[in-house]
Amino acid sequence: RNLSVKDVCFIGAGYVGGPTAAVLALHNPAVTVEVVDRDPHRIQQWKSPHLPVHEPGLDALVRAVRKDSEEETQSASQRQQNLVFSCESARALAKADIIFMAVNTPTKMFGVGAGCATNMTAFDGAMRDVATYAKAGAIIVEKSTVPGGTADRVRKMLAASRPGVPFEVLSNPEFLAEGSAIENLTTPDRVLIGSAATPSGRQAARTLASLYTAWVPSDRILETNTWSSELAKLVANAMLAQRISSINSISAICERTGAEVDQVAKAIGLDARIGPQFLKAGLGFGGSCFRKDIASLAYLAESLGLDDVAEYWRQVNTMNERQRDRFAHKVISRFDGNLVGHKLAILGFAFKKNTGDTRESLAADVIRVLLEERPSEIAIFDPFCRADDIMRELKTVCPDVSERDVVKIHTDPYLACSQAHAILVVTDCDQFRNTPGKKPIWTHNSNFVQSCAADCTDCRAHSTRPTTEAIEWPRIAYNMVEPKWVFDGRGLLDVAELEKLGVRVDSVGRRT
Ligand code: NAD
Ligand code: UGA
């Protein structure tokens, strides 16, 4: 039973706001969930058949709960239709009982704390809208990942701009991982709610909890104070990232000895106190969150005068950068320092499998190093990324790059790899595996959606093709050019099987 919540508003229709709002709407049919964003294009995409975010299960979920236009509503009145996307924040905020702040909080790149602190421009801008339009008694929820102490700061800001008006500010960080967002939201390990240690603060926490208990067992809902909740989010990401940097540091040792990193990871992961997750060695962690959240944690420690604590956590990021640098330089050294006249194919550009998110792509950094060696071509294939997202991300690390010269983006893996001297597996997509017997089905290639007309209202043709299976490595290997190197940056490939096809394989964390 939700405690008299009728209207919920999410500010920020991104990777977190959209999927979280959809799951909340599904399980609370009596609540209207409106997602607002300042970017009209993004809102248009959420209303269209081609959502701006690729997540397994998301399309079907949004179709099930999204409110359609009036004509469509007539024919689909059986559906729930309590999820709304719009740019009308003033109206949506004015009626909301609960407001989730789900805007981006990247690293600040200017002024005090540049490169470490959190850039709160978007968050504070959205908060100004909340302060202007929210109704008295609204509960404001930090869903974005924010620096510790933000709830206290927001409370003071609201007290100054709306004196005497009661608001409660909660911290409710999100722990979903991209590529498994719907699964994570549907069966979360925990839901964390931080509140003020006052009767009204606790009451607000109970009200928010009542939305979650519609589908989350109440023993998975953890209540803390707001500082603990804010800090726990940063620490959860830092600890996960730390495991990746730790195993990657061991992969460097393995590459110079006879040990194999996957065997080491398995052996240590069987210790119940260590556990098997997040011990997959690779190119390091990419994505929009781990690096920036560690930077934020280190900045917090530094601002508290805890320089050794800050340095400890910064090392996790440093190790991470070195890992992909080491990989790129290994490729160069396999070609005796000369990539001129060689074609390299990159399999995977997103920061991990099952997502089209190119933010802080590992591939972009690797390509930046390789481009300095002037190869004849770098061909990129990713099953989920759009070409314009790839180019945008690439330009953030190589501003001069242009698709017309060396870099080419393909929608067909066989074309990307044809006549390549080397193939680099950069993303852990199951489609790139060569394990015999495992043939995952490709569901939806968003590259094809790009060619869809802007006013397309029926995407069935696009969403069903190509239903390609795992790539056929014999075909890829046959069309390569000597010296036929395959660099497995994710420890994804069965090396012995691949070598049977006449290619040389260099895999992370193994001596070749
Ligand atoms: P995103 O960039 O995909 O989405 C943020 C959205 O907020 C954008 O669409 C932007 O236009 C909108 N926005 C910014 N300012 C606005 C304003 N004033 N009014 C209305 N809309 C505004 O970001 P994201 O990946 O969804 O991340 C959001 C937050 O969640 C971040 O703090 C992030 O650290 C955290 N988080 C992200 C993930 C993830 O997997 N991406 C997981 C957990 C937590
Ligand atoms: C991560 C956390 O897992 C989420 O709990 C958190 O909510 C989110 O950050 C966030 O705050 O944004 P995400 O970055 O989406 O989620 O994806 P992960 O699965 O954590 O992977 C991050 C990176 O680490 C990827 O590049 C992935 O390939 C890499 N990774 C992951 C490894 O190299 N090895 C591993 O064992 C696991």
With the most atoms of ligand 1 within 8 angstroms of its CB, the residue from 46, 91, 104 to mutate is 104
Is 459 in a helix, a strand, or coil? coil
Distance 256 CA to ligand 1 centre (A): 41
Cβ(352) – ligand 2 distance below 6 Å: yes
Residue 107: strand pairing partners: 118
Q: Where are the alpha helices (DSSP H) in 10-149?
A: 17-27, 40-47, 58-65, 70-75, 89-95, 121-133
Do 377 and 408 contact (CB within 8 A), yes or no? yes
* DSSP structural state of residue 9: E
Token couple for 497: 């099987």
Share of the chain above pLDDT 70, in %: 90
Asked whether the predicted pLDDT for residue 503 surpasses 90, the reply is: yes
Asked whether the predicted pLDDT for residue 457 surpasses 70, the reply is: no
What is the DSSP track for 183-205?
A: HHHHS-S-EEEEE-SSHHHHHHH
Asked whether the predicted pLDDT for residue 471 surpasses 50, the reply is: yes
Q: Give the number of the ligand closest to the Cα of residue 17.
A: 1
Q: Is 398 a catalytic residue?
A: no
At 435, which amino acid appears? T
- The mean predicted confidence, pLDDT, of the chain is 92
Cβ(264) – ligand 2 distance below 6 Å: no
Given this model, what pLDDT does residue 400 score? 84
Interval 337-396: pLDDT, tens: 999 999 999 999 999 998 999 999 999 999 999 999 999 999 999 999 999 999 999 999
Cβ(104) – ligand 1 distance below 6 Å: yes
Asked whether the predicted pLDDT for residue 55 surpasses 80, the reply is: yes
At 44, which amino acid appears? Q
* Reported confidence tier of residue 402, pLDDT bands at 50, 70, 90: confident
Question: Which of 85, 36, 91 lies closest to 62 in space, CA to CA?
Answer: 85
Among 289, 385, 417, 429, the active-site one is 289
Number of Cα atoms under 13 Å in the Cβ half of residue 399: 0
Given this model, what pLDDT does residue 277 score? 97
Residue closest via CA to ligand 1's atom 3 equals: 14
Statement: the pTM of the whole predicted model exceeds 0.95 = no
| Measured distance CA(93)–CA(10) in Å, rounded | 9
* Reported confidence tier of residue 458, pLDDT bands at 50, 70, 90: very low
Distance 282 CA to ligand 2 centre (A): 12
* Longest alpha-carbon distance in the chain: 75
| Measured distance CA(485)–CA(505) in Å, rounded | 6
| Residues sharing a CB contact under 8 Å with residue 107, sequence separation 6 or more, in sequence order | 115, 116, 117, 118, 119, 291, 292, 295, 296
* Reported confidence tier of residue 405, pLDDT bands at 50, 70, 90: confident
Known binding residue 259? Answer is no
| Measured distance CA(260)–CA(210) in Å, rounded | 48
Interval 202-223: pLDDT, tens: 999 999 999 999 999 999 999 9
Of the listed ranges 97-106, 297-306, 439-448, the least confidently predicted one is 439-448
Asked whether the predicted pLDDT for residue 461 surpasses 90, the reply is: no
Who wins on pLDDT, 419 or 443?
419
Asked whether the predicted pLDDT for residue 462 surpasses 50, the reply is: no
Q: Averaged over 285-298, what is the pLDDT?
A: 98
Closest ligand 2 atom to residue 241 Cα is 24
Instruction: Give the β-pairing of 485-488 and 504-507.
Output: parallel
ipTM of the modeled complex: 0.99
Token couple for 142: 């930090």
* DSSP structural state of residue 410: E
C-alpha dihedral, 104 to 108 to 110 to 115, nearest 10°: -140
| Measured distance CA(361)–CA(355) in Å, rounded | 11
Interval 145-198: pLDDT, tens: 999 999 999 999 999 999 999 999 999 999 999 999 999 999 999 999 999 999
| Measured distance CA(165)–CA(130) in Å, rounded | 13
Interval 11-24: pLDDT, tens: 999 999 999 999 99
Asked whether the predicted pLDDT for residue 116 surpasses 70, the reply is: yes
Q: Averaged over 459-464, what is the pLDDT?
A: 38
| Measured distance CA(315)–CA(278) in Å, rounded | 18
Given this model, what pLDDT does residue 70 score? 58
Distance 440 CA to ligand 1 centre (A): 31
Interval 421-435: pLDDT, tens: 999 999 999 999 997
